[in-house]
Structure 1
Amino acid sequence: MKRSLLAALAALFFLSGCAARGPDSGPAAQPSQSAAASSAVQSAPEPPAPTPSEEPSMPDTPETRARALLADMTLEEKAGQLFFARCPAENAAQDVSAYHLGGYILFGRDTKGKTACGLIRDIASYQEAADIPLLIGVDEEGGSVVRVSSNSNLRERKFQSPRAVYSAGGIDGVLADAHEKDLLLRGLGFNVNLAPVADVSTDPGDFIYDRTLGEDAQTTAGYVSAVTEQMAWDGMGSVLKHFPGYGNNPDTHTGSAVDDRPLETFQTSDFLPFSAGLSSSRTAAVLVSHNIVRCMDPELPASLSPAVHQTLRELMTQAGRANGVVMTDDLAMDAVKLYAQDGSAAVLAVQAGNDLLISSDYRAQIPQVLAAAQDGTLDTALIDAACLRVLTWKAELGLL
């Protein structure tokens, strides 16, 4: 525990050296600024007392801030906010303003070989280009999925898998590990970690097993609850994946996966970690897989299925998170291409009930969403509702 804390403090100290300092940011500038501020406060006239006829102001909450912002946004701006885009290799800062993007997800390509200072500068340039602060996400699960700690310039060693950390140190070890990740990621400029994996798997033969805790549903639920609560305390957005539960399905990056398990299995096992994570944190979102889950929808992948999203919203409501954010897995994956014959996977995803769309081809998908909204194929009320939830999540993360 002490070793993890020292490592985290060392990381913060290291990263703090990359912060830009303006001409007035030094210690000598602070006393005069404080004195000026104090003088201004003392000399400022007192505001007039409210009269009985004045109506009380709306409470300042994440949702009211989001609603106020939404009211002044154009359709193009709203549509752009729905895209949690894969960071492009070129023109990343320009695309932020051109497409009004909701955020960027950085992959190994985007962190490879970078120094901490270089990565901080890259992310800062994206934020500077944004009218509305961006979600900046990354998959830093630990183990086989480590987009940041795979770069030894950013961390000496890769973060271990959740199963390895839990086996060695129990839940205390898991929390220390999560805290250290959060400090490192926040120091670099990230505000969302697409973790923890909430899937239940106890069979080493399962495709998803290496990314899970490797324990039963109850134990996994306790783990997910603890991790999401820690991440919320650290100011890091969490993403529970992959709803409705990956099970023993194959890799959907390369093709379709059909889940034939009965609904009862999901209700008594797979749903438990998702419910636990949602109940423990107001800053936890949910990512929906591309698996076809026959007991909920025999035709469409979960990510494009209104029936699956209705089930998820009911689960979120029970957890007190009716308006939490729901996002797709990457819409460029092979498992969804067959279901969008006109190329508008994003339109189908919004119609299904998603708020955020993870997309590698946002430059093609955003114009299709706009066209569908303008010709009436896509109800603009769905865009408004999704955008409101995205903006509210940003406010809950302290970005607005």
Structure 2
Amino acid sequence: MTNVREAKAMTSSQDVEDRIAALLEGMSLEEKIGQLNLVQCTGPDVVEDLADDIRAGRIGSILNVVDPEAIRALQHIAVHESRHGIPLLIGRDVIHGFHTIAPLPLGQAASWNPDLVRDCARIAAQEASAFGINWTFAPMIDIARDPRWGRIAESLGEDPFLTGELGAAMVTGFQMSETGEADTMIACAKHFAGYGASEAGRDYNTTNIPLNELRNVYLPPFLAAREAGVGTFMTSFSDIDGIPATANDFLLKTVLREEWNFDGAVVSDWDAIHQLCVHGLCENDTEATYLSATAGVDIDMVSAAYPRHLPELVTAGRLSERRIDELAGNVLRAKIHGGLMDRDVTAFPAQPSRMAALAAVRKAAEQSLVLLRNEHAVLPLGTDRIERLAVIGPLADEPAEQLGTWVFDGDASRSVTPLSALQSMLTGVAEIDYVRALETSRSMDRSGFEAARNAAASADVAILFLGEEAILSGEAHCRADITLPGAQADLVREVRKAGTPVIGVILAGRPLALAEMIDQFDALIYAWHPGSMGGPAIADMLFGRCVPCGKLPVSFPTLSGQVPIYYSHKQTGRPATPETVIHIDDIPAGAEQTSLGMTAFHLDAGYQPLFPFGFGLSYTSFAYHDLAIDRQEIPLGGRVVVEASITNTGECAGTEIVQLYVRDRFGSLTRPVRELKGFERVELAPGETRRVSFELHTDDLAFFGRDGQFAAEPGDFDIWVAASSVGGLHGSITLLP
């Protein structure tokens, strides 16, 4: 593959800078500011509406135009009818697919497979670029530890290391090409930074993040994207400790430009420059423009604050034209590195093979499914043992809902639903009795419950397709109570009365709090919103044609009130243990006041998640043994090799995701109880054993300490090789001064 950014780097950076300087020298102030102006214009007259401004150089980027003929006409005007012939950035939210939809990013993260994530982004880029779209607002690499937040669906989970690995893979998929540059898109790492820490899980809400937490948790995935060559960054809507990200000098100047040497473009989120006034940071759009431009926002998304107010700020001497040159230069550099300046942007690549795209997202759907429960090995089902199957629930046959949130261009006609996949699989083999039972996932109408119970009673097994409609997660769709919405829990209990084995398949955009009903399921598959080919993937897993291998990229709370809950929490001075937890129902009436348990737990939920980060069952079993660490003492700058043997002790082939965790026992700042530092997918035949090896450099043990410096501190470290963030083979090392 050819990395577009690397290919362009073959031309010396000085040549690029000379090219930018030559362009800027010939541009008027209005034309320079035009490069900073991102506009939205939709409707049948978009070309006519924008033509004059593009011709005059007053627009540098366009948002949400998806008609390829309109895009071609607009690019022709920009290249052939404007003074400088600078192509337009054509932006669109292409998040987890264009027409062919892969699982939600959170679902893709459950694969723990960077190659798969890269391939899904590659397909999205190929499909969208065939329509002339050259800029996507992905990946979203906010660390998400509160599943009430709707945008957790768009995230890659709660862990900085996993998010960084997968986010970098997504950047590569968007920006790399087998055939050249025309079928690529410029990626955009968002939201810089800390948006996932929004208070109460409410979108657009304030964030208060200690500097060490910002440095050690929220920024590392963005650095990984930067190192992967991401072309653009997007600022967060939220304020961070009182300073909105769109005017945050520390983030945009100190970190992004000075420390990380990022030379691409920074775009505001939607109308975020004007919203500085709404935040209360400044009193009018002129001041908002000044603060954003001085902080380092290069592109103004749709607020029109830049074209309206930058000229007056330059005339008044508050901003120099040199500063405008810097902002416009960053945009031009992004266009050059993205290949737009050196190809015919009116010639779009051919659409990729639909069959190949569907095959890829089917594989992604299979690897995203997480088996959470499988009592008495009820799964996989056998076609030789099933004569009648009850398929129940509001999400069994919803082609659009299974695509998930934020799929503006998703083609639901490409969807294969679970019901249709099961019908195709079992034709001539078994009868299927389908009962919707609830009109939507939010419905409270129980009139279909009797039919559902009767269908289950006459079947060999009942499969319930439950969860959330796509609209219940994503941007601006946050929930305070993250249990199953509507009357779905009651539906499960009603079906359970039939005495038939009950298998749950949950399609949702977030982890749900399932503790109150988990025992109602004999088996439970978490399917997230699995995309176009979710149905065949689920059917194959139910009947053992594929073996579960997904692992959770985020912890599942026991109750809604337990969040935020995540594996890499701090120890505290009074850590909870199973022996110290007291349940609210065990407190005697009239008990004297006392600090019950005297450790950090909830009386009604304990302290552990329902399912931990990294957890996922299989149809086979794996044994971990023979941990070996090649040295116990390591000097700064040294390396250690950690090995373990993994054996498939079951009766079918399977893939295990082996995980490496560390803990810094004593630090200048308190450190998490565990931190993921590596993972490897291991395919094993029955009875097969494989030696898995991880290499840790002391830099992998570094963090931002009390002195504000990024360094590894001498001392003792725990090491685990494990199947999840709980348990595993344990060893230790000592880092020498």
What is aligned with 2:121? 178
Alignment of 1:32-71 (within 5 A): 61-71=15-25
Indicate the structure whose relative CO is greater, using CA pairs within 8 Å and at least 6 residues apart: 1
What is aligned with 1:337? 277
Query: Structure 1: any 5+ residue segments left out of the alignment?
Result: 1-57, 112-118, 150-154
Matches of 1:129 and 1:97, distance apart in 2: 6
**Comparing 160-169 with 382-391, which one deviates more in the overlay?**
160-169
1:345-384: CA deviation from partner (whole Å, max 9, x where unpaired): 333311221111112x42x641321122112132222101
What is aligned with 2:206? 258
TM-score of the superposed pair, with normalisation by structure 2: 0.40
Alignment of 1:8-47 (within 5 A): none
Displacement after TM superposition at 1:178 (Å): 0.6
Displacement after TM superposition at 1:100 (Å): 2.0
Structure 1 residues 97 and 206 mapped into 2: Cα distance closer, same or farther (>3 Å)? same
TM-score of the superposed pair, with normalisation by structure 1: 0.71
Q: Say whether residues 1:373 and 2:327 are aligned partners.
A: no
Displacement after TM superposition at 1:306 (Å): 2.3
Q: Say whether residues 1:245 and 2:190 are aligned partners.
A: no
Return the match for 1:271 from 212, 219, 222.
Answer: 219
Q: Say whether residues 1:292 and 2:239 are aligned partners.
A: yes
SS in structure 2 of the partner of residue 84 of structure 1: strand
What is aligned with 1:322? 262
Matches of 2:338 and 2:200, distance apart in 1: 31
SS in structure 2 of the partner of residue 189 of structure 1: coil
Matches of 1:366 and 1:68, distance apart in 2: 22
Whether the 8 Å contact between 2:238 and 2:244 is mirrored in structure 1 is: yes
Aligned residues: percent identity?
26
SS in structure 1 of the partner of residue 142 of structure 2: coil
What is aligned with 2:69? 121
Displacement after TM superposition at 1:249 (Å): 0.8
**Comparing 243-252 with 261-270, which one deviates more in the overlay?**
243-252
Matches of 1:208 and 1:383, distance apart in 2: 33
Structure 1 residues 393 and 140 mapped into 2: Cα distance closer, same or farther (>3 Å)? same
Return the match for 2:141 from 198, 203, 212.
Answer: 198
Amino acid at match of 1:161: L
Return the match for 1:353 from 275, 287, 296.
Answer: 296
Structure 1 residues 60 and 125 mapped into 2: Cα distance closer, same or farther (>3 Å)? farther
Whether the 8 Å contact between 1:331 and 1:346 is mirrored in structure 2 is: no
Q: Say whether residues 1:385 and 2:343 are aligned partners.
A: no
- Which structure has the greater CA radius of gyration? 2
Displacement after TM superposition at 1:340 (Å): 4.5
Amino acid at match of 1:367: R
Displacement after TM superposition at 1:253 (Å): 11
What is aligned with 1:97? 55
Whether the 8 Å contact between 1:203 and 1:209 is mirrored in structure 2 is: yes
Structure 1 residues 355 and 251 mapped into 2: Cα distance closer, same or farther (>3 Å)? farther
Matches of 1:253 and 1:358, distance apart in 2: 22
What is aligned with 2:641? none
Matches of 2:158 and 2:51, distance apart in 1: 42
What is aligned with 1:216? 159
Matches of 1:252 and 1:124, distance apart in 2: 41
Matches of 1:257 and 1:333, distance apart in 2: 16
Displacement after TM superposition at 1:229 (Å): 2.1
Displacement after TM superposition at 1:161 (Å): 1.0
Whether the 8 Å contact between 1:253 and 1:333 is mirrored in structure 2 is: no
Structure 1 residues 342 and 317 mapped into 2: Cα distance closer, same or farther (>3 Å)? closer
Matches of 2:271 and 2:39, distance apart in 1: 10
Matches of 1:390 and 1:170, distance apart in 2: 32
Whether the 8 Å contact between 2:89 and 2:134 is mirrored in structure 1 is: yes
SS in structure 1 of the partner of residue 195 of structure 2: coil
Matches of 2:21 and 2:294, distance apart in 1: 21
Q: Say whether residues 1:396 and 2:337 are aligned partners.
A: yes
Displacement after TM superposition at 1:165 (Å): 2.6
**Comparing 234-243 with 201-210, which one deviates more in the overlay?**
201-210
Whether the 8 Å contact between 1:207 and 1:249 is mirrored in structure 2 is: no
Structure 1 residues 226 and 59 mapped into 2: Cα distance closer, same or farther (>3 Å)? closer
Matches of 1:335 and 1:59, distance apart in 2: 36
Structure 1 residues 65 and 365 mapped into 2: Cα distance closer, same or farther (>3 Å)? closer
Matches of 1:61 and 1:304, distance apart in 2: 31
Structure 1 residues 259 and 215 mapped into 2: Cα distance closer, same or farther (>3 Å)? closer
Structure 1 residues 83 and 391 mapped into 2: Cα distance closer, same or farther (>3 Å)? same
Amino acid at match of 1:104: I
Query: Structure 2: any 5+ residue segments left out of the alignment?
Result: 1-11, 178-183, 342-737
What is aligned with 2:251? 308
Structure 1 residues 241 and 352 mapped into 2: Cα distance closer, same or farther (>3 Å)? same
Displacement after TM superposition at 1:187 (Å): 0.9
What is aligned with 1:227? 170
1:122-159: CA deviation from partner (whole Å, max 9, x where unpaired): 111211221311111111112xxx7xx4xxxxx2x544
What is aligned with 2:587? none
Matches of 2:299 and 2:274, distance apart in 1: 19
Between structures 1 and 2, the one with greater helix share = 1
Structure 1 residues 250 and 136 mapped into 2: Cα distance closer, same or farther (>3 Å)? farther
Structure 1 residues 259 and 93 mapped into 2: Cα distance closer, same or farther (>3 Å)? same
Displacement after TM superposition at 1:95 (Å): 3.0
Amino acid at match of 1:179: R
Amino acid at match of 2:146: D
Q: Number of aligned residue pairs: give it.
A: 311
